[in-house]
Amino acid sequence: MGLNGKTLGIVGLGHIGKQIAKVAQAFDMSVLAWQPTIREDECKAVNVACASSLDELMRRSDIVTIHMVLAESTKGMIGLRELSLMKPTAFMINAARGPLVDEDALVRVLQDKRIAGAGLDVFDTEPLPANHPFRTLPNVLTTPHLGYVVQENYEVFYGEAVEDIKAWQNSAPIRTLPELN
């Protein structure tokens, strides 16, 4: 699927949503944004169109990407009704928080091929259970939650891993877990 001329729908035009808009624009995509408190000036500042409603965004987008915080008011905000508004050729991307999307509803529309696919790195239960349908559906791509990773995170993570291995080799383990009884 070429991205040129496609519409990216961004649910949540905060810091991350604005960065995603820039990337989409670099691929000549149209960008449509919505959040409960969206303002026209926010959209104009990053050269994106404001959707009048979540329903409009879901209907018009070729790819929907979610960038909202998880709160009582946003939990399950994308359910079967919203997913059913999507084009059969559309993709759902959730790299924010698993519970923003009703997981059972997403499984259902993916199994029924009512949308083309989903890209997910967040889930209701993490790690994703071994028997979860997302693991076997051919139209789902899953990854570990990596959205927070920057060079500095890798340097700390791998640096500490090397320290841990060296300490263990010297029979002086560090950063150990307490024994469970």
Task: Give the mean pLDDT of 115-129.
Answer: 92
At residue 1, the pLDDT reads 60
- What homologous superfamily does CATH list for 7-148? NAD(P)-binding Rossmann-like Domain (3.40.50.720)
Give pLDDT tens digits for 130-148.
899 999 999 999 987 765 6
Indicate if the pLDDT at residue 163 is higher than 70: yes
Q: Tell me what the mean pLDDT of segment 1-10 comes to.
A: 86
Residue 181 has pLDDT above 70, yes or no: no
Question: What's the burial of 21, exposed, middle or buried (CB within 10 Å: 0-12/13-18/19+)?
Answer: buried
Place of tokens 């928080």: 97
Query: Which of residues 73 and 180 earns the better pLDDT score?
Result: 73
In angstroms, the CA 14 to CA 121 distance is 19
Model confidence at 99: pLDDT above 90: yes
Q: Nearest to residue 97, comparing CAs of 59, 71, 130?
A: 71
Q: DSSP letters along 53-70, please?
A: SHHHHHHH-SEEEE----
Distances in Å between the alpha carbon of 77 and those of 1, 100, 163? 27, 6, 43
Is a pLDDT exceeding 90 seen at residue 161?
no
- CA–CA separation, 121 and 115 (whole Å): 18
Q: For 42-72, how does the pLDDT look when each residue is reduced to its tens digit (9 = 90+)?
A: 999 999 999 999 999 999 999 999 999 999 9
Q: List beta partners, residue 92.
A: 64, 118
User: Rounded to an integer, what distance in angstroms lies between the CA atom of residue 25 and that of residue 137?
Assistant: 30
**With bands split at pLDDT 50, 70 and 90, how would you rate the model's confidence at 178?**
low
The percentage of residues in the chain with a pLDDT greater than 70, rounded to a whole number, is: 94
The closest alpha carbon to 69, from 37, 113, 22, 111, belongs to 37
Q: Where are the domains of the chain?
A: 7-148, 149-181
Q: Which amino acids are annotated catalytic?
A: 97, 126, 145
Confidence of residue 127 (pLDDT cuts 50, 70, 90): confident
How many residues are there in the chain?
A: 181
